[in-house]
C-alpha cells in the first residue's frame, strides 16, 4: 500500500507541474456544462433532463483521454521500465495511477456538480449522489484508459481508441434514445456496456427523492467494472513499447 501511495503522490506531483492537464481535468467538464446549458437556454427542462447525464459523460471522456495518453507517454519515455525494475509490482503501479487520477476525478466532480447545481440551477433532489456517480464515471474512464493504453504504441494510437471504446457507449447508453426502444441486438449490447448503467443512474436522479435500489444496483455494477478494468490493466501492462 505504501508503494501505491508513493506512486500516486508522484503522479499528482507531475500533474501539478502541468497547468494544461490541470485545466483539462478540472475545468473542461464544467466549461462544457456551461456551454450545454446556454445552448438550451430557452428550454430549461432539457438541461434538467440531460444535464445530470452530461455531468457524468464529460468526466468519463476527459479522464479516458488523459489517462490513456499519460500511460503511453510513461511507457515510451522509459519511465515504466525504470519503475518496474524496482520492487514495485504492476498492480501497485496501476493502483497508484488509479488512486492519483481518482483524486483528480473527485476534485473534477465536486467542481462540476457545484457549477451545475448552484450556478446553472440544475434541478436534482440528491446532490451528493450526483457527485458520487460523477466520480465513479470519471474513475471508470480512468480505468478503461489504463486498460486501453496497453494496446497503444503511440499517444496518437491511444487517442484513436476513443472511437472504439467511448463513442459506441455514448450511442448505446440511452442518452440519444431509450435503450428499450433499440433493436434486440443493440439492447443486449447496451446491457454489457458500463456507461449504460451510469446513464440509467443519472436519469433516475432527475426524478428520485432519495438513493434507491436501482441506483445501488447501477453503482455496484459501475464499481465492479472499474475494479475489473484496473485488474486487467495490471495484467496487460507492458514495460515498454515494442
More confident: 75 or 134: 134
CA distance 74 to 3: 18
Q: What is the pLDDT of residues 4-31, one digit of tens each?
A: 888 888 888 888 888 888 888 888 888 8
Q: CA dihedral in degrees (10, 150, 141, 231; nearest 10)? A: -80
In the chain, the percentage of residues whose pLDDT exceeds 90 is 13
Q: What is the average pLDDT value for the chain, to the nearest integer?
A: 84
Cell of 236: 496487460
Find out whether 64 and 136 touch, Cβ atoms under 8 Å.
Answer: no
DSSP 8-state symbol, 178: -
The pTM of this model reads: 0.87
pLDDT above 60: residue 242: no
Q: What letter does residue 242 receive in the DSSP assignment?
A: -
pLDDT digits (tens, 9 = 90+) for 94-124: 888 888 888 888 888 888 888 888 888 887 7
Angstrom distance (rounded) from CA 130 to CA 86: 40
Rounded Cα–Cα distance for residues 139 and 9 (Å): 17
Amino acid at each position: 500500500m505504501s508503494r501505491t501511495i508513493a506512486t500516486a503522490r508522484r503522479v499528482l506531483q507531475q500533474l501539478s507541474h502541468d497547468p494544461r492537464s490541470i485545466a483539462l481535468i478540472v475545468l473542461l467538464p464544467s466549461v462544457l456544462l456551461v456551454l450545454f446549458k446556454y445552448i438550451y437556454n430557452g428550454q430549461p427542462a432539457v438541461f434538467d433532463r440531460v444535464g445530470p447525464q452530461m455531468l457524468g459523460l464529460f468526466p468519463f471522456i476527459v479522464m479516458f483521454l488523459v489517462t490513456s495518453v499519460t500511460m503511453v507517454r510513461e511507457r515510451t519515455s522509459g519511465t515504466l521500465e525504470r519503475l518496474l525494475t524496482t520492487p514495485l509490482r504492476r498492480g501497485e503501479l496501476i493502483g497508484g495511477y488509479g488512486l492519483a487520477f481518482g483524486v483528480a476525478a473527485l476534485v473534477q466532480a465536486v467542481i462540476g456538480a457545484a457549477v451545475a447545481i448552484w450556478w446553472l440551477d440544475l434541478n436534482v433532489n440528491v446532490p451528493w449522489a450526483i457527485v458520487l456517480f460523477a466520480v465513479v464515471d470519471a474513475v471508470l474512464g480512468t480505468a478503461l484508459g489504463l486498460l486501453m493504453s496497453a494496446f497503444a504504441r503511440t499517444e496518437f494510437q491511444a487517442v484513436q481508441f476513443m472511437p472504439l471504446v467511448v463513442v459506441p457507449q455514448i450511442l448505446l447508453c440511452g442518452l440519444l434514445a431509450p435503450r428499450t426502444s433499440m433493436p434486440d441486438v443493440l439492447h443486449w449490447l447496451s446491457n454489457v456496456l458500463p456507461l449504460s448503467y451510469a446513464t440509467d443512474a443519472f436519469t433516475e436522479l432527475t426524478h428520485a427523492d432519495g438513493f434507491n435500489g436501482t441506483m445501488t444496483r447501477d453503482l455496484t455494477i459501475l464499481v465492479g467494472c472499474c475494479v475489473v478494468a484496473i485488474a486487467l490493466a495490471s495484467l496487460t501492462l507492458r514495460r515498454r513499447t515494442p
